[in-house]
Chain A
Amino acid sequence: MRHPQLSDLALFAGGDLGFFASLETRLHVARCTECRAEVERFSDASKTLKAEAAQLPEGLDFDNLAAEMRANIKLGLEAGSIASHVIANHMMDAPRHEEESFGWRGAFVLAAGTLVIITGWFLHVSAPEQTRLAAVTPPVQGISIEATQAGVEVKENGGAFALRSPESQPVTLTVSSEGSVNARYVDSETGQVTINNVSF
């Protein structure tokens, strides 16, 4: 029996294999205990990774961070490339004082690009950690809900909306499988029960 490559099994376990390759692999895995065990090992490893990822600094969405870094780097490189092109043209065509002028502008363009990258990075990673409502795993179909003692939260396409519970009060969480979660606590000031809910 010809077995799929290990990399294909890994992609299959994560649901990242293409349609036809996935179909072929699925048929094989259904018959082959060895490959099925391999797929299960990949699935388990993925779960462990997700669990450990949950312990990353709270509020840190690594996917967003990576995408942002890539975009900033690309922007900086493009700006640098354009600036170099302009400088090169002027070195050939322009008089001496123009060369100096564009050299300064090129440096300024590069500096601005660098400023964008550094500012974006600094603001993202240095923001105060204010919540433990963190979910690193991407939500299924773009929207997910999370309930912890700190509050209830709905996440969608990079945005998040959370109703917070006071840290000093015990919180009772209740979940409804139709897609909603409640966090219930007694407000220390009013003595009233407050029930926060998010749903999709």
Chain B
Amino acid sequence: MSRSKYICAFLLVVGMSTALAADDRPLIKIQLPKDSPVTMVSSDLGDSKATPRGGAMEIELHTALALRNSGSHRIRGVTLLVLAQEVTPGGKGSVSLPNLNVAPGDDFLIKIDLRLLRPLAAGAGPMVRVLLDGVLFDDLSFFGENRLNSRRMMTQWELEARRDRKHFRQVLEARGAEGLQKDILESMARQAERPRVDVKMARNSPATTTEAGRQVQFSFLRFPDSPVEPHDGMARVNGNEARAPSLEVLNRGDRAVKFLEIGWIIRDRQGRDFMAGTVPADLKLAPGQSSRVLEGTSLQFSAKPGQPVEIESMFGFVKSVEFADGTEWIPARAALADPRIAKLVPVSPEEQRLTELYRRKGIAALVEELKK
């Protein structure tokens, strides 16, 4: 066969494969450990589809997994690790259900809606792997590999849930269903009015123009009962970008601290405040010790696509603390009611769930739920 025929055949193959872009690889593989306290009842791939897009394939996956609590404790939270290592080897995802109340033997549903954009040239294995990262029980015990620190996150969500359920129960007892309704409506209004901001984040690259931007100091909102006090902090700001935040923190309590999160608020040039996110830190902080928290990322904020939020100033507050023994501290509701942050800090997942329950089913359903 002459060279021209080989080329002709090659082009045909390339053309056909580009046009058809068919792929019969398994889309998803779900792996649960043998001793897992949750077992798979069924999985549904729904209307998942793959669409060729030039030199790439776009895959939409709508998965619903029915899982069963096959252990002996009530389940309060589950986190699944979602990996697409062939597409984004440096990134990972997770889907968590906090604030569950699943009795032993009961089933629950977890949905994974994901989109992948990957090159057409592909390997042989499944495109997405789903693994169990952790399960939190009602006694705050935990099962799982905890690769994503899901134990810490789910414990924090559970503590917030207990705090907020207690608050709403107290409101119900003190002021009745009418008082509870008023409180829930106020919460809904706060959630609706909370300014939203879109964020793009990247690891910092070496500065190419060191002249660009300016150092902006943090100011701080201090909670009286916080075991940790931030007292100095700054980030490099350039337009809508904040780079490399750093904070000095002091352990003023009598217990060693191993993790903390500082809430981060930004103010734009129009005087509008936004909750930018949190600055977390793994550290070993003995009582009375200070330490500097550094993060090597850059964050860009926009109110809408193409509308950058120009950062003017920033302030922070302690959002959570984990002690060396694994217990955690979170701010009281009274502290979060401070007018400087009340409309900025997102409500807890449980408060979000309870307000949604009220919105859908009314006050009677909410009262019933709080009695559980």
Given contacts A123-B53, A143-B203, A194-B111, contact A161 B306 (CB under 8 A): no
Nearest Cβ distance between residue A131 and chain B, in whole angstroms?
Answer: 6
State whether A177 and B346 are in contact (beta carbons under 8 Å apart), knowing that A15-B209, A124-B54 are contacts in the complex: no
CA distance A149 to B55 in the complex (A): 28
Are A47 and B239 touching (Cβ within 8 A)?
yes
A177 to B296, CA, bound (A): 8
B98 touches A116 (CB 8 A): no
Contact assessment for B356 and A161 in the assembled complex, using a CB-CB cutoff below 8 Å: no
Q: State whether A177 and B202 are in contact (beta carbons under 8 Å apart), knowing that A161-B114, A193-B99, A197-B96 are contacts in the complex.
A: no
A116 to B128, CA, bound (A): 29
Which of A112, A158, A164, A178 interacts with B119 by CB under 8 Å?
A158
Please state if A184 and B198 are interface contacts (CB–CB under 8 Å): no
A-facing mask of B99-127, CB < 8 A → 1, else 0?
Answer: 11000000011111111111100000000
The listed residue (B4, B89, B191, B346) touching A156 by CB distance below 8 A is: B89
* A18 contacts chain B at the CB level, 8 A cutoff: no
Query: Can you list, as one digit per residue, whether each of A131-156 has a CB less than 8 Å from chain B (1) or not (0)?
Result: 11111010111111111110111111
Tell me whether A143 and B56 are in contact (CB under 8 A). no
Residues on B with C-beta less than 8 A from A198 are: 91-94
Contact B100 A192 (CB under 8 A): yes
Residues in chain B near residue A152, CB distance under 8 A: 93
Whether B88 lies near A159 (C-beta < 8 A) is yes
The answer to whether B15 and A161 touch across the interface, beta carbons within 8 angstroms, is no
Residues of A within 8 A of B108 (CB): 190, 192
Q: In the complex, what residues of A have CB within 8 A of residue B202's CB?
A: 139-141, 143-145
**Docked-complex contact B211 and A156, CB < 8 angstroms:** no
Chain B 296-336 interface mask (CB, 8 Å, partner A; 1/0):
01110010011110000000000000000000000000000
Report the separation of the CA atoms of residues A29 and B51 in the bound assembly, to the nearest whole angstrom.
Answer: 49
| B2 at interface, CB cutoff 8 A | yes
Instruction: Report the contact-size class of chain B (Cβ under 8 Å from the partner).
Output: 35 or more
How far is B4's CA from A105's CA once the two chains are assembled, in angstroms?
8
CB-CB < 8 A to B278: which residues of A?
174-177
Residues of B within 8 A of A52 (CB): 306
- CA A139 – CA B297 in complex, angstroms? 12
- In angstroms, Cα B191 to Cα A186, docked, is 13
Contact with A along B196-230 (1 / 0, CB 8 A): 11111111110011111000000000000000000
B116:A192 contact, CB within 8 angstroms = no
With A30-B211, A140-B204, A178-B295 already in contact, the answer to whether A161 and B84 are too (CB < 8 A) is yes
A45: Cβ under 8 A from any B Cβ: no
Bound Cα distance from A176 to B245, whole angstroms? 11
A13 CB → nearest B CB, Å: 6
The total of Cβ contacts below 8 Å across the A-B interface reads 295
A112 touches B277 (CB 8 A): no
B97 adjacent to A112 (CB under 8 Å): no
- How would residues 157 to 194 of chain A score, 1 for a CB under 8 Å from any chain B CB and 0 otherwise? 01111111110001011111111010010110111111
Q: Which residues of A contact B297 (CB under 8 A)?
A: 177-179
9-residue interface stretch from B5-13, B25-33, B134-142, B165-173: B5-13
Given A43-B212, A175-B278, A108 contacting B8 (CB threshold 8 A): yes
For the complex, give the distance between the alpha carbons of A133 and B198 in Å. 11
The interface residues of chain B lying within 8 Å CB-to-CB of A200 are 90-92, 203
**Binary contact readout B43-56 vs A (1 if CB under 8 angstroms, 0 otherwise):** 00000000111111
A55 and B99 alpha carbons, distance in the complex (Å): 38
Residue of B nearest to A109 (CB): B8
Residues of B near A36 (CB, < 8 A) are 211
> Of residues A14, A43, A102, which shows the largest number of chain B Cβ atoms within 10 Å of its Cβ?
A43
- The answer to whether B93 and A79 touch across the interface, beta carbons within 8 angstroms, is no
A73 within 8 A of B: no
- Give B59-104 interface residues, CB cut-off 8 Å to A: 60, 82, 84, 86-100
Residues in B neighbouring A91, C-beta threshold 8 A: none
In the complex where A143-B88, A163-B112 touch, is A175 in contact with B277 (Cβ < 8 A)?
A: yes
Complex CA distance for A83 and B8, rounded to whole angstroms: 9
Indicate if the CB atoms of B91 and A102 lie closer than 8 Å: no
| In contact, B4 and A170 (Cβ under 8 angstroms) | no
Q: Residues on B close to A: CB < 8 A? A: 2-5, 7-8, 11-12, 14-15, 18-19, 21, 51-56, 58, 60, 82, 84, 86-100, 108-119, 148, 191-192, 196-205, 208-212, 239, 245, 261, 264, 275-280, 295, 297-299, 302, 305-308, 346-347, 349-350, 352-353, 356-357, 360
Seed contacts A131-B115, A190-B108, A194-B95; 13 additional CB < 8 Å A-B pairs = A30-B211, A55-B306, A123-B53, A127-B52, A139-B202, A143-B91, A143-B202, A154-B91, A160-B117, A173-B199, A177-B277, A193-B98, A194-B97
CB-defined A-B contacts under 8 Å, sample of 14: A12-B209, A142-B90, A147-B200, A155-B88, A159-B119, A163-B93, A164-B114, A173-B199, A176-B277, A184-B352, A191-B357, A191-B360, A197-B96, A199-B91
Lowest 8 CB-CB distances: which A-B pairs, in order? A124-B54, A15-B208, A175-B277, A154-B91, A140-B202, A112-B11, A159-B87, A160-B117
